[in-house]
Amino acid sequence: MAMDRPVAVVAVAQTPSYRRYDDGEPVLIMTCVNDLLARTGLARDEIGFTVAGSCDYLSGMPFAFVQNLDGMGAWPPIYESHVEMDAAWALAEAYLRLQLGDVDVALVVGSGKSSPGRPREVFSLQTDPYLMAPLGIDPPSLAGLQARTLVDAGTATERDFAEVVARSRRAALDNPNAQVKQEVSVDDLLAAPYFAAPLRAHDLPPISDGAAALIVAAGDRAAELAQRPAWVHGLDHRIESHHPGLRDLTASPSTALAAEHAGVHDGPIDVAEVMACFSPEELVLRAALGLDDGATEVNPSGGPLAGNPMMATGLVRVIEVAQRIFDGEAGRGVAHASSGPCLQQNLVCVLTGERTMSAERA
């Protein structure tokens, strides 16, 4: 499908990533939404489409996504949608929706509280319901399998994993929203015991509560709403088999394919925010996106290892890139989001400070 209508991110908002937030998810959302409306000066009814990403299993409440609408403001009635996924995919839906031409402005919201439940148990439910979920296989164990394949293949070492963690925590010192931030040495990290060998606990993301939201607008409307919009040059997402045994866990072919179709390689990448929730994933993603280590700043926010408000984490990557474009720090950036075990499904979004039409892609 040709994306004829240029779409841009015009405003972003996020809550800090909390270890535990002792109030409801709608409140986290309401904060972000009110912030966006205040900053853009938009009235609630000027938003033509609202779409959210969240996970009822994570909340432990059926139809939690409906109560989340309280935070977005659903009165008078609004035109809205929901994905039971990270809100980066809600952005994908908003981006497509704006292509139809009848809606100019959309609100995208992501939120999640991981603290009340047990994410290791919740997200084992993403796996094959017959062959894997009854074993309770959890994301850290799956990430441990992926880490093992990388070490066995000689592609990465445990020291490489620790370096990712050290970089993340150091970068997070400059991010007021990050949860885990410190100067730490690689040797100190390597001295810690294994959790899902060859991974250690610090190779895993923290448990976080938080929300994030952004406003996208099309064409001239975007230019009206922001001085320097972050234009979507391309957005694509691809998925691999849900059977880990059928995949090459040392690489991310779906990320590489999505990157190609999103136009990552159409120009230089100044900044990349990748959803590496486990440290080995950052190495796999750098390679899959074809990032130039020397020229591209990767995860200056600290990335998910510094704060992981699940279901908002991917949207936060888009937000962090967009903000740097707003500020003039970056001309072109890529945001990546992932869903499912071991980077099973990947979304790539390329943002630029220049308004261009993205080329038609197969």
Site for another protein in 16-75 (CB under 8 A): 16, 18-24, 26-28, 30-42, 44, 57, 60-62, 69-71, 73-75
Minimum distance between the CB of residue 327 and another protein, rounded to whole angstroms? 7
Cα–Cα distance for residue pair 189/356, rounded to 1 Å = 44
Q: Which stretch binds another protein (CB under 8 A): 82-90, 100-108, 112-120, 285-293?
A: 112-120
Minimum distance between the CB of residue 222 and another protein, rounded to whole angstroms? 9
| Selected binder of another protein within 78, 103, 145, 190 (CB under 8 A) | 145
Minimum distance between the CB of residue 87 and another protein, rounded to whole angstroms? 16
Instruction: Say which residues have a Cβ less than 8 Å from residue 290's Cβ, sequence separation at least 6.
Output: 256, 259, 264, 265
| Selected binder of another protein within 55, 91, 98, 180 (CB under 8 A) | 180
Minimum distance between the CB of residue 32 and another protein, rounded to whole angstroms? 7
Number of residues that bind another protein (CB under 8 A): 115
* Measured CA distances, 236 to 6, 141, 233, 345 (Å): 15, 28, 10, 11
Q: Which stretch binds another protein (CB under 8 A): 77-85, 99-107, 195-203, 259-267?
A: 195-203
Residue closer to another protein, measured from CB, 175 or 255: 175
| Selected binder of another protein within 53, 110, 244, 263 (CB under 8 A) | 244
**C-alpha angle with apex 155: 152 to 159, nearest 5 degrees?**
90
| Selected binder of another protein within 48, 53, 112, 139 (CB under 8 A) | 139
| Selected binder of another protein within 2, 66, 100, 125 (CB under 8 A) | 125
Amino acid at 314: G
Minimum distance between the CB of residue 356 and another protein, rounded to whole angstroms? 18
343's torsion region: left (phi>0), alpha (psi -120 to 50) or beta? left
Residue 143 CB-density burial (10 A; 0-12 exposed, 13-18 middle, 19+ buried): buried
What is 308-356 written as a DSSP string?
Answer: --TTTHHHHHHHHHHHHHHTTS-SEEEEEEEESTTS-EEEEEEEESS--
| Site for another protein contains 318 (CB under 8 A) | no
How many Cα neighbours within 13 Å face the side chain of 361?
18
Residue closer to another protein, measured from CB, 171 or 337: 171
Amino acid at 264: V
| Selected binder of another protein within 45, 77, 154, 227 (CB under 8 A) | 227
Residues 76-95 as x/- pattern, contact with another protein by CB under 8 A: --------------------
| Selected binder of another protein within 79, 159, 220, 243 (CB under 8 A) | 243
Binders of another protein among 256-275, rule CB under 8 A?
none
DSSP code of 124?
G
Residue with tokens 């990050």: 178
Q: At what angle are helices 279-289 and 139-152 packed, to 10 degrees?
A: 60
Residue closer to another protein, measured from CB, 28 or 272: 28
| Selected binder of another protein within 54, 111, 126, 146 (CB under 8 A) | 146
| Selected binder of another protein within 100, 136, 265, 361 (CB under 8 A) | 136
Instruction: Say which residues have a Cβ less than 8 Å from residue 91's Cβ, sequence separation at least 6.
Output: 51, 108, 214, 216, 235, 315, 318, 349
